[in-house]
Amino acid sequence: MSSGTYVSVIYAVEGLYESVVSTPSAWNDQAFSDWADDTLVDAAELPKEAIRQIRRCLNAARKLGAFWEADSSAVADHDDWRSRVDIALGPRAWRPTLELAQIGLREAPSEELFAEVKDRFAVVNSERWMDGVGYEEWLAET
């Protein structure tokens, strides 16, 4: 497996989240099933723990869709899709993407996955991970 597979799946999840919070009425059971089929085919080589995180993302997306379908005017300023995710679920929505990035960093280390873990860790935990440490330094220590 390559780090690119992990990154692609993470970006696919972000695309899912963005679409679900922007147009929740377009997402029904079949649409979620189709997304899962497409994504899991691309991620077939990933370990079970990574597949589990993808499923957690899918469950979070369903909750996001239900939240925004029920009340699309929940907050007046929700033009940014990431803000819409945060309003509905907060760090719970981002935690499986962090886990996925961490699994990828363990299994197929890359500078891109290192950056994804750093960014997502701050969002989920409200604190920095490896602050001031670069990828090369981290890699040398592992």
CA distance 135 to 140: 9
Q: Is the pLDDT of residue 2 over 90?
A: no
The rounded percent of the chain whose pLDDT value lies above 90 is 69
Query: Mind listing the pLDDT tens digit for each residue in 79-93?
Result: 789 999 999 999 999
Q: What is the pLDDT of residues 23-75, one digit of tens each?
A: 999 999 999 999 999 998 878 889 999 999 999 999 999 999 999 988 766 65
Q: What is the per-residue pLDDT for 3? A: 81
